Copies of this chain bind each other. A is one copy, B any other.
Amino acid sequence: MHKEELIALHQFMFTIKENLESENPNLSFEHYNSLKINPNQVHKSKMEHKHAIFVLGEEIAEAMKDVEPSASKRIAARMSELARRTEKEIDEMPDEKY
């Protein structure tokens, strides 16, 4: 996947997050916020945007639990797993490369 595609998906999920927040001000997206990344940061690496996508994916799926409990739970778990795996990919990369 090209970098601009990853950024577009990041932007897509960021907008879903914003819509959910405006409907439900109690949502926090703590993990995503702790990453201190946003879709406009084009200088961030592909890996960092991919990581952000999965972290957002997990927290969005968590937020949707009320609507569709079982699918959301399964997807949140899957996203979480892929986020962790991407963290590992980043850790194992030589600094100059990711």
Contacts and interface: CB of A to CB of B under 8 A. Distances in A.
A64 interface: yes
A12 B79 contact: yes
Greatest chain B CB density within 10 A among A5, A54, A78 is at A54
Interface string A44-55: 011110110111
A57 B75 contact: yes
Interface in A15-59: 15-16, 18-19, 22-23, 45-48, 50-51, 53-55, 57-59
15 contacts: A1-B1, A8-B54, A8-B78, A9-B57, A11-B75, A12-B57, A23-B67, A47-B89, A48-B90, A55-B83, A57-B79, A58-B76, A61-B72, A65-B70, A65-B72
Given A15-B61, A57-B75, 11 more contacts: A8-B78, A9-B57, A12-B61, A18-B68, A22-B68, A47-B98, A48-B90, A57-B82, A58-B79, A62-B72, A62-B76
